[in-house]
Amino acid sequence: MEVVSRKTITMTVNGESYEREVDARRLLIHFLRDDLDLTGSHIGCDTGNCGACSVLVDGVLVKSCMLLAIQADGAKIETVEGLAQDGELTALQQAFSDHHGLQCGYCTPGMLMSATALLRSNAHPNDEEIRKAIQGNICRCTGYVNIVAAIKAAAE
C-alpha cells in the first residue's frame, strides 16, 4: 500500500450510490455539499463544536467537518435529505414543526440527525437523555426547550 493524494471513492448517500474522485484533504461536509450538492447539512462553526454538519455514517452519528471524505469511502451515509420520504415528513420532523423546535433553522438538520440517532437506540428517552443526546448541537435561537419537547413528542 502506498500513500495517495487523490482517490476515486464510492459512497451511498440516502440510498443513492455516488462515485467521485476526491482530494485526500477534502472534508466529508464539503464532499456532501459541494460535490454532491446535498446542502441540507450545514457548516456552522467548522471547528467541531456546533453540530450543524451532523450526519450518520454507517449508522453512527458524527460531525462531518471532522471526517475526511476519503475516510468514508464505501460507507453508507444518511443526511437530513434522506429523512422525509415522498414528501412525507418523519414524525420527528413534524414534531419540530408542531412544537416550534426551530426559529432560524440553521441548526435543525444537525438536530434532526442527532435526534434520529437517539430515537433509534432509545425509543422513549426522558428529558435528561434527550438533552445529553443533543449536547453536541448548538442552537442559538430556541433555548432548546421546544427542541426537547419536539423530540419527546416524536417519541410518544
Residues contributing to the site for another protein (CB under 8 A): 1-5, 7, 23-27, 30, 46-48, 51, 54, 60-63, 65-68, 70-71, 114, 117, 132-133, 135-137
**Strand 76-78 with 54-57, pairing:** antiparallel
Give the residue with the Cβ less far from another protein, 1 or 123: 1
Q: State the nearest-atom distance from the C-beta of 116 to another protein, in Å.
A: 12
Give the residue with the Cβ less far from another protein, 16 or 73: 73
Give the residue with the Cβ less far from another protein, 59 or 97: 59
Give the residue with the Cβ less far from another protein, 14 or 71: 71
Q: Which residues pair with 21 in a beta bridge?
A: 8
- The answer to whether the CB of 70 falls within 8 A of the CB of 7 is yes
60-64, Cβ contacts within 8 angstroms, sequence gap of 24 or more:
60/117, 61/113, 61/114, 61/117, 63/136, 64/27, 64/28, 64/29, 64/32
Q: State the nearest-atom distance from the C-beta of 132 to another protein, in Å.
A: 8
Q: State the nearest-atom distance from the C-beta of 60 to another protein, in Å.
A: 5
Task: Give the separation between CA 118 and CA 138, rounded to whole angstroms.
Answer: 16
Q: State the nearest-atom distance from the C-beta of 62 to another protein, in Å.
A: 5
Give the residue with the Cβ less far from another protein, 28 or 83: 28
Q: State the nearest-atom distance from the C-beta of 40 to another protein, in Å.
A: 17
**Strand 54-57 with 60-63, pairing:** antiparallel
Grid cell for residue 124: 422513549
